[in-house]
Amino acid sequence: SQTIHQWPATLVQPVGSPLSLECTVEGTSNPNLYWYRQAAGRGLQLLFYSVGIGQISSEVPQNLSASRPQDRQFILSSKKLLLSDSGFYLCAWSGTGGKNIQYFGAGTRLSVL
């Protein structure tokens, strides 16, 4: 069966520091991969998605970037965090055909202080 791992679960970082959140998927190949951000009490905002290695689509101009160095690995990064980068970050994967149901990781709560 397919599983998705996302870490760390919680992160507190100072303003101006770098960020690296990692997401890996097991049990499937060539998945679509997604990064979302959720502000407190709000819905999900799609940040990036990827349909293959090295293929990244950015949805919202921001202080963040994403990379997909391997088929089942998706990384969210920042060179210098801003206060506004605080939030709950969720990684998800889906198949490439049919229903395209997205399955989510457990999320990372990022606090930028």
Q: Work out whether 100 is an interface residue with another protein (CB under 8 A).
A: yes
Q: Work out whether 44 is an interface residue with another protein (CB under 8 A).
A: yes
Candidate residues 76, 92, 110, 112; the one interacting with another protein per rule CB under 8 A: 92
Candidate residues 13, 28, 32, 58; the one interacting with another protein per rule CB under 8 A: 32
Q: Work out whether 110 is an interface residue with another protein (CB under 8 A).
A: no
Candidate residues 53, 58, 62, 107; the one interacting with another protein per rule CB under 8 A: 107
* Conformational region of residue 53, where left means phi above 0, alpha means psi within -120 to 50, and beta covers everything else: beta
DSSP notation for the chain: --EEEEE-SEEEE-TT--EEEEEEEES-SS-EEEEEEE-TT--EEEEEEEEETTEEEE-S-SS-EEEEEETTEEEEEESS--GGG-EEEEEEEE-SSTT---EE---EEEEE-
The minimum distance between CB 68 and another protein, in angstroms, equals 14
Q: Work out whether 62 is an interface residue with another protein (CB under 8 A).
A: no
Binding region for another protein (CB under 8 A): 32, 42-44, 46, 49, 51, 59, 88, 90, 92, 94, 99-107, 109
